[in-house]
C-alpha cells in the first residue's frame, strides 16, 4: 500500500489512517482484511459501551478512491502532555487508570499501549492526551474476555497492568 496520501495522518505496515474531515478519520484496510476490520469494529463498539476511553466507532464504509474498506472513527487531536503541570497529569493518569480497569472488569483489554521494541514509532503511540483527557486508539489486537479462556484474559490484563506502570512513569517523569 502506498503510504502517500494527501490526507494521511499515520500509517503502519497494514493500514493507513486518513482525515475525512474535522470530526472523523478513516482507517483503511486495503488488502483482504474483512475479518480484521469487522473484529476491530466489534471490539471498538464493545469498549465504547463501557466508557469513553477508546476512540469512538462511527461506521464501516468502502473508500472508492483507495479501493478498500474503511473503519470510520472520531477524530482525536492529541496534545503534548509535557506542556501541562505535573498535578494535572496526575489527575489525568488517575482517571485513565480507573477507566482502563473498568474496561478490564467488563471484559476488554487493549493489549497495545506499549509498543514492542521492534516496531517503529513512539513507545506509547496508541495513548493520546486530548482536551477530554487520555484516550486509546487502535484496538486491532485488543481482546474481549468472551473470545478467549479465563486464564488467557487474566494474563493479558496482568501484562497490560504492568505496561500501565511503565506508562505512568513515562507520563509523569517527562
- Find where cell 487502535 sits: 138
DSSP-assigned beta bridge partners for residue 11 = 16
Three-class secondary structure of residue 34 per DSSP: helix
- pTM equals 0.90
With b for 16 or more beta-carbon neighbours within 10 A and e for fewer, the 146-173 pattern comes to eeeeeeebeebbeebeebbeebbeebee
Whether residue 60 contacts residue 71, with contact meaning beta carbons closer than 8 Å, is answered with: yes
CA 101/CA 92 separation, integer angstroms: 14
Hunting for cell 472513527 — which residue is that? 73
pLDDT digit string, tens, across residues 41-75: 999 999 999 999 999 999 999 988 888 899 999 99
pLDDT digits (tens, 9 = 90+) for 101-159: 999 999 999 999 987 665 656 789 899 999 999 999 999 899 999 999 999 999 999 99
3 state SS of 29: strand
**Could you tell me the residue ranges of all domains in the chain?**
8-74, 81-173
32-48 pLDDT, tens digit each: 555 589 999 999 999 99
- Least confident stretch, 13-22, 69-78, 101-110, 159-168: 13-22
Exposed e or buried b per residue across 54-66, where buried means at least 16 C-beta atoms within 10 angstroms of its C-beta: bbbbbebeebeeb
Q: What are phi and psi of 58, to 5 degrees?
A: -110, -55
pLDDT number for residue 67: 83
pLDDT at 62: 93
Fold identical between 8-74 and 81-173? no
Could you give phi then psi for residue 35, rounded to 5 degrees? -70, -35
Among 1.10.510, 1.10.260, 1.25.40, 3.40.630, name the CATH number for the domain at 81-173: 1.10.510
**What's the pLDDT at 65?**
84
Architecture of domain 8-74: 2-Layer Sandwich (3.30)
Half-sphere exposure for 102 (CA within 13 Å, toward CB): 15
Amino acid at each position: 500500500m502506498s503510504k502517500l496520501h494527501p490526507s494521511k495522518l499515520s500509517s503502519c505496515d497494514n493500514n493507513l489512517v486518513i482525515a475525512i474531515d474535522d470530526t472523523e478519520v478513516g482507517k483503511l484496510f486495503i488488502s483482504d482484511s474483512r475479518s480484521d476490520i469487522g473484529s476491530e469494529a466489534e471490539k471498538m463498539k464493545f469498549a465504547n459501551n463501557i466508557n469513553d476511553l477508546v476512540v469512538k466507532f462511527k461506521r464501516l464504509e468502502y473508500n472508492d478512491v483507495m479501493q478498500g474498506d474503511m473503519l470510520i472513527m472520531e477524530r482525536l487531536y492529541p496534545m503534548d502532555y509535557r506542556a501541562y503541570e505535573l498535578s494535572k497529569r496526575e489527575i489525568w493518569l488517575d482517571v485513565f487508570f480507573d477507566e482502563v480497569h473498568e474496561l478490564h472488569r467488563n471484559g476488554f483489554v487493549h493489549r497495545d499501549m506499549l509498543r514492542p521494541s521492534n516496531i517503529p514509532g513512539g513507545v506509547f503511540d496508541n495513548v493520546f492526551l486530548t482536551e477530554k483527557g487520555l484516550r486509546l486508539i487502535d484496538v486491532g489486537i485488543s481482546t474481549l474476555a468472551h473470545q478467549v479462556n479465563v486464564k488467557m484474559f487474566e494474563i493479558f490484563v496482568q501484562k497490560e497492568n504492568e505496561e500501565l506502570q511503565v506508562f505512568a512513569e513515562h507520563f509523569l517523569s517527562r
